[in-house]
């Protein structure tokens, strides 16, 4: 079984006290994760060390950064490098979230640089891809996603690509009132796996976790996670509520 992952993305939310209380409430629940499962918490930069001190006490719980710089080091005021993340023991990093692409104009080329730096610094990257409504309406989503993968990931070797997790975000279905159907979710996840298989072979494609990042919540997690090519979720708002995220974690496939 591919690793099943419930990844929380807090974005720019919660104070340190609020975040600590949330984590303590989550880990105090009866959550047993096997080695093919993981709960990952992408928290704001100021909270990384504190959060890691909490996740280190729970089996198969991990702390992630929400972003990183595209340069190794230098005069980049306000940026955080991959080597900084590695130096404090951070295990995961999100690369290419739709908000970073949209608000900060991060291109596929820039993301390829971040991908390389993640590898150099031994971080497992959750690489995000997804299409806006205009692309979906034009029925061009498959080629759009394929281009994102090819331009940012497909320079990697077979060994290197295994270190990556892919997260599919249907941008058109996040905060818009529109909803992706289970069939649409499965179809895109299967397409992503096929694109990876065409480049690296079916065995490697079948080993890579692909997460769904489209408004996952306790009420729909079990249905979404049961889809054949869905290996968990990248969760935004619902990850800020302990009861919700605990239910989402418990919805992961376990066999």
| Contact between residue 169 and residue 214 where contact means Cβ atoms under 8 Å apart | yes
The burial of 105, by beta-carbon neighbours within 10 Å (0-12 exposed, 13-18 middle, 19 or more buried), is given as: exposed
Task: Give the pLDDT confidence score for residue 173 in this predicted structure.
Answer: 85
Catalytic residues: 97, 169
Helices (H), the chain: 16-27, 48-55, 82-87, 98-103, 108-120, 133-137, 141-152, 158-161, 182-200, 202-205, 218-225, 242-250
Q: Mark residue 215 as left, alpha or beta (left: phi above 0; alpha: psi -120 to 50; beta: remaining).
A: left
Q: Please check the confidence at residue 175 and state whether its pLDDT lies above 90.
A: no
pLDDT grade for 178, boundaries at 50, 70 and 90: confident
DSSP 124: E
Structural domain boundaries in the chain: 4-250
Q: Please check the confidence at residue 255 and state whether its pLDDT lies above 80.
A: no
Task: Give the pLDDT confidence score for residue 174 in this predicted structure.
Answer: 81
Rounded Cα gap, residues 157 and 166, in angstroms: 16
Q: Please check the confidence at residue 76 and state whether its pLDDT lies above 90.
A: yes
Q: Both tokens of residue 203?
A: 């065995």
CB atoms within 10 A of CB 125: 25
What is the mean pLDDT of the segment spanning 225-233? 97
Task: Give the pLDDT confidence score for residue 101 in this predicted structure.
Answer: 96
pLDDT grade for 30, boundaries at 50, 70 and 90: confident
Interior/surface letters 161-176, b for 16+ CB within 10 angstroms, e for the rest: beebbbbbbbbbbbee
| Contact between residue 41 and residue 51 where contact means Cβ atoms under 8 Å apart | yes
For residue 226, CA distances in Å to 39, 219, 230, 253 come to: 17, 13, 7, 7
Assigned CATH for 4-250: 3.20.20.70
Rounded Cα gap, residues 62 and 167, in angstroms: 17
Rounded Cα gap, residues 255 and 248, in angstroms: 16
The burial of 222, by beta-carbon neighbours within 10 Å (0-12 exposed, 13-18 middle, 19 or more buried), is given as: middle
Rounded Cα gap, residues 125 and 196, in angstroms: 16
Per residue in 196-216, pLDDT (tens digit) is 999 999 999 999 999 999 889
Q: What is the mean pLDDT of the chain?
A: 96
What is the mean pLDDT of the segment spanning 56-80? 97
What is the mean pLDDT of the segment spanning 87-115? 97
């Amino acid at each position: 079984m591919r690793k099943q992952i419930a990844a929380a993305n807090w974005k720019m939310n919660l104070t340190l006290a609020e975040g600590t209380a949330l984590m303590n409430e989550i880990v105090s629940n009866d959550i047993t994760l096997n080695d093919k499962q993981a709960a990952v918490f992408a928290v704001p930069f100021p909270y990384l060390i504190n959060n890691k001190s909490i996740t280190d006490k729970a089996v198969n719980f991990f702390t992630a950064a929400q972003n990183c710089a595209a340069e190794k080091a230098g005069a980049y005021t306000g940026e955080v490098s991959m080597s900084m993340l590695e130096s404090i023991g951070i295990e995961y990093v999100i690369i290419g979230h739709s908000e970073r692409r949209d608000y900060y104009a991060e291109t596929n080329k820039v993301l390829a640089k971040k991908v390389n730096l993640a590898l150099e610094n031994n971080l497992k990257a959750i690489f995000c891809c997804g299409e806006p409504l205009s692309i979906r309406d034009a029925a061009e989503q498959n080629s759009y996603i394929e281009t994102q993968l090819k331009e940012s990931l497909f320079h990697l070797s077979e060994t290197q690509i295994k270190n990556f997790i892919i997260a599919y975000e249907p941008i058109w279905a996040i905060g818009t009132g529109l909803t992706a159907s289970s069939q649409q979710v499965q179809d895109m996840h299967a397409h992503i796996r096929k694109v990876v298989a065409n480049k690296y072979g079916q065995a490697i494609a079948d080993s890579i976790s692909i997460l769904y990042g489209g408004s996952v919540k306790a009420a729909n997690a079990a249905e979404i996670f049961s889809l054949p090519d869905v290996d968990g979720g990248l969760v935004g708002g619902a990850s800020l509520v302990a009861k919700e995220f605990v239910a989402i974690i418990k919805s992961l496939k376990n066999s």
